[in-house]
Amino acid sequence: MYTANSLRDKIIHFQNTSEQHFQKQKNLPNFFKLSLAYLSFFLSTFLAAFRLPFLWLKRLLPSSIASAKEQAVLQVNTQNIKQVLQDNEWVVLDFWAAWCGPCMMMEPALESFAQRNPDIAAGKIDADQNAELLKRYKVKGLPQILLFHQGKEVKRHAGALSEHELEAFVQQEMSKISQAV
């Protein structure tokens, strides 16, 4: 049973389920829900574009001002990705961009996940600054979540996930791998 913790989670869940329902059964009510989901997607992208100048200003501020939630999420790039994957048994990487609405909607979910799961490394990769990593991992759309176990990719998801969906995404694969061992 899904329970949303915030309006953001409810919107992400609505977008994901609307698409799934329309794929299963193409009818007018599902088309209407899918249209609303796309409308909310475009609205979130517009809001992300509005937020972009403020994010650039934040980057200019000293890093010591970052919140505890932001510090729980690693900033991964071409220079440190190898070390992050070697040093941690489980790693969740979020490929994102500042102009991407769904990426901005997912940001709090990743921060909360990182705080609640200190044994799993959670990192963000800025797609605009790390094009080489997008090519290396064949990332075609944003946001894209990749899950690594012992340095090897074991699962990926394209699109935003709510806190609950991100937790389920990771725990399902961890359970599957631990049962296989």
Catalytic amino acids? 100, 103
Q: Report d(CA 166, CA 106) in Å as an integer.
A: 9
Strand 121-126 relative to strand 90-96, pairing:
parallel
Cβ contact 117:166 at 8 Å = no
Question: Structure tokens of 49?
Answer: 């574009």
Cβ contact 71:124 at 8 Å = no
Cβ contact 177:153 at 8 Å = no
Instruction: Please write down the long-range contacts of 149-154, taking CB distance under 8 Å and 24 or more positions apart.
Output: 149/89, 149/90, 149/173, 149/174, 149/177, 150/89, 151/85, 151/86
Question: Structure tokens of 79?
Answer: 């220079």
Cβ contact 151:85 at 8 Å = yes
